[in-house]
Amino acid sequence: MVYGLLLAFGAVFLTLLVVDTMRLGAPPMPSSARERLAVVALVERRAIELARPVRVLEAGAGWGGLALAIARAHPDFQVVAVEGAVFPLVVCAVRVLLHHLLGGAGLTVLPGDALRADYADVDVVVAFLGPETTAELAARLAQLSHPPQVISVGFAVRGWRQRARIQLRDRWRSEAGLWVFEPGP
């Protein structure tokens, strides 16, 4: 009986992961510790430039590790974690709840499509998505009157200018970059 239930749960878990990955175009692969440190450093850079705590939206927060790293490093920042895949979203929401129960602050989780999120008051968008979704997100942000800057892990934001980058000393020589939209003449 227990074995059957575990098997059924495993099948539902795997099916939903595969379906969500195909639907959203990116698997819920968590960022590495080095990638998180690099993103936190780039978010800090933006806060120093603006001379105030920043509002961060993570587009595709997965299991929540990166959003938590930012919120733990800077409890005065407002961090919104948006995730569209069911299981990562549930885990992310539980971790955010625990964060608050343990006295943490500044972190909210929102279910849904990050491409349709409200970016009106956002200073920095953090994204570790596939190349196509990154391009779609950039196109959406470019339509705003004041597009937020984007910190992208692993992928270039095509058509935007890279202002800063942190090259990681990992086996893939991956990087995190801070990108700004500059409208053409």
Q: Are 148 and 140 in contact (CB under 8 A)?
A: no
What distance in Å separates the CA atoms of residue 116 and residue 144, rounded to the nearest whole number? 12
Of the two residues 87 and 162, which places its CB atom closer to ligand SAM in the complex? 87
Q: How many CA atoms lie within 13 A of 44 on its CB side?
A: 13
Compose the 143-182 pattern: x for residues touching ligand SAM by CB under 6 A, - for all others. ----------------------------------------
Phi, psi of 36 (to 5 degrees): -65, -45
Q: Does 115 bind ligand SAM (CB under 6 A)?
A: yes
Phi, psi of 183 (to 5 degrees): -65, 145
Of the two residues 30 and 131, which places its CB atom closer to ligand SAM in the complex? 30
For residue 155, the minimal CB distance to ligand SAM (Å) is: 10
What distance in Å separates the CA atoms of residue 61 and residue 28, rounded to the nearest whole number? 8
The pair of structure tokens assigned to 69 is: 């790293």
Q: Does 88 bind ligand SAM (CB under 6 A)?
A: yes
Tell which one of 43, 57, 85, 151 touches ligand SAM (CB under 6 A).
85
What distance in Å separates the CA atoms of residue 36 and residue 32, rounded to the nearest whole number? 6
The pair of structure tokens assigned to 180 is: 């700004």
Name the segment binding ligand SAM (CB under 6 A); options: 26-34, 43-51, 95-103, 138-146.
26-34
DSSP label at 27? Answer: -
Quick one: which H or E segment has residue 57? strand 55-59
Tell which one of 29, 50, 98, 139 touches ligand SAM (CB under 6 A).
29
Of the two residues 28 and 147, which places its CB atom closer to ligand SAM in the complex? 28
Tell which one of 54, 114, 122, 125 touches ligand SAM (CB under 6 A).
114
Q: Which residues bind ligand SAM (CB under 6 A)?
A: 20, 24-26, 28-31, 58, 60-62, 65-66, 82-85, 88, 113-115, 128-129, 133
